[in-house]
Chain A
Amino acid sequence: MRTLRITTAVISALGVIGLSACGAADTGKKDEAGGDKTVRLTVPSWVGAQANTAVAGYILKKELGYTVKTQQMGEVLAWDALSKGDIDAIMEDWGHPKEETQYVTTKKTVVKAGDLGVTGHIGWYVPKYYADKNPDVLDAKNLNKYAKDFKTAESGDKGEILEGSPDYVTNDDAIIKNLKLDLKTNYSGSEAAQITAIKKYAKEKKPFLTYWWTPQWLNAQVDMVEVKLPEYKEGCDADPKKVACAYPNTPLQKFLNADFAKDGGEAAEFLKNFKWTTEQQNEVALMIAGEKMSPEAAAEKWVNANESTWKAWLPKK
């Protein structure tokens, strides 16, 4: 009896909630403050992207009078939020073919906004102090000879290749298998852990092999040299299990929410025009990560020193 009464109570409670919800809810969230003049940008977790978001945000604020809101979140989550209109733009994307097909081609809720101007490249890197002593380590063919130098407690009798965050695109397990290398991947699980480990190795001048990429601010602090993998050819990474080649060069892309691109006015136009070089991005990134400046302060410093560059991005009046 008692259970029955409880069940009835629960059902009627749910009914009341259901009834109270008889009006349709707004699908897009209300703009809290500033009305139309608000731009929402995602801040990815790596510093290079923080640099361009900070500079774009600073100019939007100071020159064009927008309110800028930033939200930090994972890459795939950001794509989803971009599609829903929770954020307006992604300033640096390293290639998400699945999401691109889904949102840009099929649903048409996201549009491309052109190149960022920076080319990203992923590869295998060893520190320069080690490469100078062993120059032929720089070819993947000779890696087995040096594998023992990269041994750690995690990799057993094989050499360790340090991997980064699960966010990153990696074919390393397939490459190791298909090139028959005496290596083993060790997933650090976050960029912070990977950077901390690299800095530690570099300080002790120990040999190490890592999955790494440019542009990256740490490259200005720790000198690393890329190991040559078999050359990248179009389609050689099509089957994830059979990859035995290097990573491609990725011209980094900007993406806008479709509605924002149409109705975003000056802000949308400015973000489409935004284009700078790897060196410029690294300059700001190093201020943020190396000198521990706040992204706003770093952006301000760069903007004050490079007026001619960003003046060209402003919408033509």
Chain B
Amino acid sequence: MTATVTVSKPTDAAPTAGRWRLLLTHPGKRKVLGLALAALVLIPLGIALWGSGSWPAGLTVDVSGPLDDANEWVIDNRDTHPLFLYFLLHFSNTATDAVDGVYQFLDAMGWLGVLVAGVLFAWRAAGLGRRGVKVAATAFGAFALCGLLGMWDATLLTIALMVVAVAVAALLGVLIGLAAGLSDRVDRALRPVLDTMQVLPAFAYLLPFVLVFGTGTPAALFCTVIYAAPPMARLTALGLRGADPAVLEASASLGASGWQRLRTARLPLARKQMLLGLNQTIMMALSMVVIAALVGAGGLGEAVYSALSTVDVGKALAAGIPIVLIAVWLDRTTAAAGDRIGESNPGGGPLHGRSAWALVSAGVVAAALAGLAIGRTWPDSWTYDISTPVNKAQEWITENLTFTEVWSREFTLWILNPLRDLLIWLPWWSVLLLVAAVAWLVGTWATALTATLSMAAIGVLGVWAKSLDTLSQVLAALVLTLALGVLAGIFCARAGRLERWLRPVLDAMQTMPQFVYLIPVVALFGVTRASAIIAAVVYALPAVVRITTQGLREVDPAALEAARSLGASTRQQLLQVQLPLARPALQLAVNQGVVLVLAVVVVGGLVGGGALGYDVVKGLSRGDMGVGMTAGVAIVCLGLVLDRITQPARRKSTSH
């Protein structure tokens, strides 16, 4: 999310000064003192003016009326109005044709052709060395498993949707990124837009898209693009801004125009970041596959979604695994390609550059032709149905793990309920004061203002109590995620082997559609908010573990060595050197935790989380744009509040 950038002030509190002087000179403590004074004045004032309790009804605005009117207008006009006939419908028809075209093409290549293409492209992207072989083997394994699970056709349809969605998202992302990378003003203006694109639950805007573009591919495609484009935009902008000034200076002094400089110096220098952006865009797009199925996009998502209605975990898993495999294949391939950028490329030869691509293409064509002889679709006899054994295993596990239910009950009774009741009991103005105070303590007055206004917006929208209910769940999930994630991250940083073992598990947790594990979660924890929290923890944990591990690994070895030579114990090294030095990474982990936990609030609504998540789902399934959008916007506001009060470090960093 966004970073508030200000220049840090040097702090030079004299340690010898008296306590009071220290209090007045140390900026942090001065803030606390100021807050205490403000509280002394404001709290009695608040009690006198507004008393206690929930957000006053007089201060709310009902937006559902205008939204429903807009809804009606679209339905009445979409077949006749020129805006649709001459503009929007072209988009939806093109989208359908594009996805259909890619699918037909893949289908025409036959299973052997697709398999060989996947393997050869992975190999070409990752290079000829041992790494290349490994990546190619991953690609082979991924495709073969998709076929073995009986999901070949659905996988092709999903890949077709992904190809088009990622292409559009990447293009859009690069354009936005260019604008943001070249102009500070555009950058500032775009940041909140990009944030909203990622935090506003897709469920909330799926309905308007369906009304305008129709069910099936178009609505699904556009929603995927909206969600997946921001990382590409952010990283492109980051890459352009990070270009070495010396290089730019040199090219400017050689008389290059702005456009030439962009093309020959800045864009090539940003290549690595842009490839990382592409990688992230692919992952985001894949996580939308099941949501796309809710409006009839077909493919693997539909298989997962329909398995849910028969409460068939095995079938859902059989469709979920290919999604994970596609993600792993694309992740490893793009990551390997990214690492190779900048590596020296010895000579030409038949295995490099254009001739290599020609070889790859020739191989694919040959495989496709050979494939036609043995049949286009994956042979039925080469499939294995995992649903029965998986369902048996799931039943056995849920019957034999009884402590989960006890845990979920105690957790709800002793942590969730008190936390929710406390938040709802707090007078509304005191919540605003609290948000303002915390945001000001960790940031600037601007941070405090944004956070407070976002919190107030929730009240104005008329979803105060529901939002606080959701907030209590998000906070609980966040604490659990951070506790588990940082702990796991510490172990991973110390034991490389553990990290290697955990990597596929973390991959699966991140890319497996949450719909797959909804049923086991309910079977283990019941229909309660605890289930929603478990779903959120599973989804957010991998990012926290990864960021923590990397942060601890990157701690300056010299500092660690120094501590070791001074005789610090392992524990001391960890607590007094590694963790403090890894603080920026830990703060990033907290921030990612917030974003990811919020992203699953809606999924929590499907297993008993209630509150905002349930409302968003309800808005979509009842066709009630007012309810869905209001709850969606409230989630964005909660995201803004949490973002502002968890981002102290960014304040000190200077502009990229």
Binding site for B on A (CB under 8 A): 2-3, 6, 10, 18, 20-27, 29, 32, 43, 45-47, 50, 71-81, 83-84, 86-87, 99, 102, 107, 152-154, 156, 162, 165-167, 186-197, 199-200, 203, 288-289, 292
- CA A194 to CA B526, docked complex, whole Å: 9
Report B's interface with A, CB cutoff 8 A.
Answer: 75-76, 78-79, 84-87, 89-90, 92-93, 96, 100, 179, 182-183, 185-186, 207, 210-211, 214-216, 293-296, 298, 302, 305-306, 308-312, 314-315, 387-388, 391, 398-399, 408-409, 412-413, 417, 518-519, 522-523, 526-531, 605-610, 613-614, 617-618, 620-623
The residue that B412 contacts in the complex, of A154, A197, A199, with Cβ under 8 A, is A154
The answer to whether A194 and B408 touch (CB under 8 A), given A18-B87, A29-B93, A73-B215, is: no
CB-based contact A200/B295 at 8 Å: no
User: Taking the nearest CB of chain B, how far is it from the CB of A20, in angstroms?
Assistant: 8
Residues of B within 8 A of A152 (CB): 409, 526, 528
Query: Top 5 closest A-B pairs, CB basis?
Result: A76-B623, A25-B89, A166-B618, A153-B412, A71-B296
Pick from B179, B308, B311, B620: contact of A74, CB under 8 Å: B620
Contact A197 B526 (CB under 8 A): yes
By the criterion CB–CB under 8 Å, are B85 and A27 in contact? yes
A29 touching B296 by the CB < 8 A rule?
A: no
- Known contacts A74-B620, A292-B388; decide if A200 and B523 are in contact (CB<8 Å): yes
Please pick, from B76, B391, B527, B623, the residue contacting A197 in the complex, using a CB distance under 8 A: B527
Report yes or no: B621 in contact with A75, Cβ–Cβ below 8 A. yes
Q: Evaluate contact between B527 and A188: CB separation under 8 angstroms.
A: yes
Closest to A78 in B: B215
Query: Residues of B contacting A288 with CB < 8 Å?
Result: 310
Q: What is the total of A-B residue contacts with beta carbons within 8 Å?
A: 191
Are B623 and A292 neighbours in the complex by a CB distance under 8 Å? no
Shortest distance between the CB of A189 and any CB in chain B (Å): 4
In Å, the complex CA distance between A78 and B124 comes to: 45
B523's nearest neighbour on chain A, judged by CB, is A196
Q: Does the CB pair A26–B608 fall under 8 Å? A: no
Q: CB-CB < 8 A to B522: which residues of A?
A: 188, 192-193, 196-197, 200
Q: How far is it, in angstroms, between the C-alpha of A25 and the C-alpha of B183 when the chains are bound? A: 37
Q: Please give the distance in Å from A23's CB to the nearest CB on chain B.
A: 8
Contact assessment for B310 and A102 in the assembled complex, using a CB-CB cutoff below 8 Å: no
- Chain B residues whose CB sits within 8 angstroms of the CB of A72 once the complex forms: 293, 296, 302, 305-306
Contact call B391/A292, Cβ cutoff below 8 A: yes
A190 and B606: CB pair below 8 A? yes
Is there an interface contact between B527 and A162, defined as CB atoms closer than 8 Å? yes
Query: Could you list 23 examples of A-B contacts with CB < 8 Å?
Result: A24-B85, A25-B84, A25-B90, A46-B309, A73-B296, A77-B620, A86-B215, A87-B215, A152-B528, A153-B528, A166-B614, A166-B618, A186-B527, A186-B610, A187-B610, A188-B522, A189-B605, A189-B606, A190-B518, A192-B308, A199-B523, A200-B522, A203-B399
Cβ of B84: which chain A residues have Cβ within 8 Å of it? Answer: 25, 27
CB within 8 A of B295: which of A18, A24, A73? A73
Per the bound structure, the CA–CA distance linking A272 and B614 in Å amounts to: 36
A43 to B417, CA, bound (A): 39
Contact of B100 among A32, A77, A78, A199 (CB under 8 A): A32
CB distance from B627 to the nearest CB of A (A): 9
* Closest partner residue, chain A, to B316 (CB atom): A192
Give the chain A neighbours of B606 by CB distance below 8 A.
Answer: 189-190, 192-193
Smallest distance from the beta carbon of A73 to chain B beta carbons, Å? 5
Please name the residue on chain A nearest to B615 by beta carbon.
Answer: A166
Given A6-B186, A153-B412, A21 contacting B296 (CB threshold 8 A) = no
Which residues of B are found within 8 Å of A197, using beta-carbon distances?
522, 526-527
Residues from chain A with a CB closer than 8 A to the CB of B621 are 74-76, 165-167
Q: Which residues of B contact A191 (CB under 8 A)?
A: 309
Complex alpha-carbon distance, A73 and B610, angstroms: 22
- Asked whether A84 lies within 8 Å of B526 as measured between CB atoms, the reply is no
Q: Which residue of B lies closest to A2 (CB)?
A: B183
Bound complex: CA A20 to CA B310 (Å) = 46
CA distance A203 to B408 in the complex (A): 18
CA–CA, A44 and B523, complex, Å: 24
Bound-state CA distance A154–B298 (Å) is 36
Which residues of B have CB within 8 Å of A107? 76
The one of B214, B294, B310, B387 that contacts A86, using a Cβ cutoff of 8 Å: B214
Residues of B within 8 A of A76 (CB): 621-623
Task: State A23–B623 Cα separation when bound (angstroms).
Answer: 31
CB distance from A117 to the nearest CB of B (A): 22
Which residues of A sit under 8 angstroms from B530, Cβ to Cβ?
153
Q: Quick check: B527 and A194 within 8 Å, CB to CB? A: yes
Cα distance A156–B528 in the bound complex, in angstroms: 12
Q: Find out whether the CB atom of A27 lies under 8 angstroms from the CB atom of B79.
A: yes
Which residue of B211, B315, B518, B622 contacts A166 across the interface (Cβ within 8 Å)?
B622
A24 to B622 CA separation, bound complex (whole angstroms): 32
Most buried by B among A73, A84, A153, A167: A153
Assembly CA distance A86 to B219 (angstroms):
13
Given A189-B614, A292-B388, A80 contacting B294 (CB threshold 8 A): no
Q: Judging by beta carbons under 8 Å apart, are A189 and B617 in contact?
A: yes
CA A193 – CA B308 in complex, angstroms? Answer: 9
Q: How far is the CB of B409 from chain A (nearest CB, A)?
A: 5
A279 CB → nearest B CB, Å = 20
* Distance A6 CA – B305 CA, assembled complex (angstroms): 43
Q: Which of A27, A71, A102, A292 interacts with B89 by CB under 8 Å? A: A27
- A24 touching B607 by the CB < 8 A rule? no
Question: A73-B296, A190-B617 provided; 9 other pairs, C-beta below 8 A?
Answer: A24-B86, A71-B296, A77-B207, A80-B211, A153-B413, A166-B618, A186-B610, A189-B613, A200-B526
Report the minimum CB–CB distance from B371 to chain A (whole Å). 22
Given contacts A25-B90, A43-B306, A154-B529, contact A77 B210 (CB under 8 A): yes
Q: Complex formed: what's the CA distance from A10 to B183 in Å? A: 14
> In the bound complex, how far is the Cα of B417 from the Cα of A20, in angstroms?
57
Minimum CB–CB distance for A178 against chain B, Å? 22
Q: Which residue in B85, B86, B305, B607 is a CB contact (below 8 Å) of A189?
A: B607
Chain B residue, CB-CB nearest to A162: B527
In the complex, the chain B residue whose C-beta lies closest to that of A192 is: B308
> Which residue of the partner chain, among B79, B293, B306, B622, contacts A167 with CB atoms under 8 Å?
B622
Query: A186 vs B186: C-alpha distance in the bound complex, in angstroms?
Result: 46
Chain B residue at minimum C-beta to C-beta distance from A196: B522
Cα distance A102–B72 when bound, in Å?
9
Look across to chain B and name the residue whose beta carbon is closest to the beta carbon of A87: B215
User: CA–CA, A167 to B637, complex, Å?
Assistant: 26
**Given A77-B623, A153-B413; A192-B519 close (CB under 8 Å):** yes
Q: Quick one: given A86-B215, A86-B216, are A154 and B311 in contact (CB under 8 Å)?
A: no
CA distance A75 to B312 in the complex (A): 21
A25 lies within 8 A of B518 (CB): no
Bound together, the chains give a CA A107 to CA B526 distance in angstroms of 44
Among the listed A21, A24, A80, A162, which residue makes an inter-chain contact with B75, where contact means beta carbons less than 8 Å apart? A80
Knowing A189-B608, A193-B518, A196-B522, the reply to whether A77 touches B295 (Cβ < 8 A) is yes
- A196-B519 in contact (CB<8A): yes
Contacts of A166 in B (CB 8 A): 614, 617-618, 621-622
Bound Cα distance from A167 to B610, whole angstroms: 14
User: Taking the nearest CB of chain A, how far is it from the CB of B311, in angstroms?
Assistant: 5
Chain B's nearest CB lies how many Å from the CB of A219?
14
Q: A156–B523 contact, CB under 8 A?
A: no
User: For the complex, what is the distance from the CA of A23 to the CA of B333, rounded to whole Å?
Assistant: 41
Q: Which of A24, A29, A162 is close to B214, meaning CB atoms less than 8 Å apart? A: A29
Q: A24-B85, A32-B100 are in contact. Are A3 and B527 (CB under 8 A)?
A: no
- CB B305 to nearest CB in A, in angstroms, measures 6
- Residue from A75, A156, A165 whose CB has the most chain B CB atoms within 10 Å: A165
In Å, the complex CA distance between A25 and B87 comes to 8
- The chain B residue sitting closest to A189, CB to CB, is B606
Complex: A188 Cα to B522 Cα, angstroms: 9
Q: Considering only CB atoms, which chain B residue lies closest to A50 in the complex?
A: B309
Q: Which residues of A contact B96 (CB under 8 A)?
A: 29
Q: List B contacts of A45 (CB < 8 A).
A: 305-306, 308-309
Tell me how far the C-beta of A67 lies from the nearest C-beta in chain B, rounded to whole angstroms. 15
CB contacts (< 8 Å) of B391 on chain A: these are 292
